[in-house]
Structure 1
Amino acid sequence: MTDALSRRRTRIAGRFEDMEHRYQAIRARGLPRQYLLDVEYEIAHLRTELDWLDGTLRELATGELDWHTPLPAHLSPGARTLEQDTPTPTEAPR
């Protein structure tokens, strides 16, 4: 799992750095910011994904997130359904 996440992080980091560099270059040429809001949004999205990947990889490395923990028996496919576990709404007071 960590290999796949690390490869994803490398790919996202490359996109982030490329977009950030291009954004700075075009801003330096004088393009007003209002024409780049979609680019800013994409850069913010990539930054958020990098933060999430870094945190998840760190948790996997420290063992805080154990990838090998089995699914609890009460959540396995043979267990009760979600509908069975959902309480019925109570009648509203009059």
Structure 2
Amino acid sequence: MLESLKPGMTIPEVVRCPDGHFQQAVYGLGPYIADYPEQLLLPCVVQDWCPKCTAQADGLDDEICGCHSWEHTDMLVEAFKLGVLWDEYGLVGM
């Protein structure tokens, strides 16, 4: 089942990094263990806010909300300043 991934995990591939330099990369699969704050930082969510839905932090039990998506997060990051993202939407802007 994972045989098609083997070349990428054994043969280095030249990739362009975000800084513009080229490096050889070998990919790997494995568990990612993180504490609660880091688990929330990965999806760009503030602590005590839901990482799965768009509910407000003080209404997680009584609201029907949509699911978080990268498209929704990107739209909010483009539209609002970092303080508004943190306070009103529970998002960490970059």
Verify same fold: TM over 0.5.
Answer: no
TM-score band (shorter)?
under 0.3
Taking structure 2 as the reference length, the TM-score comes to 0.23
Taking structure 1 as the reference length, the TM-score comes to 0.23
Report which of the two has the higher share of strand: 2
Report which of the two has the higher share of helix: 1
Q: Which has the higher contact order (CA 8 A, sep 6+)?
A: 1
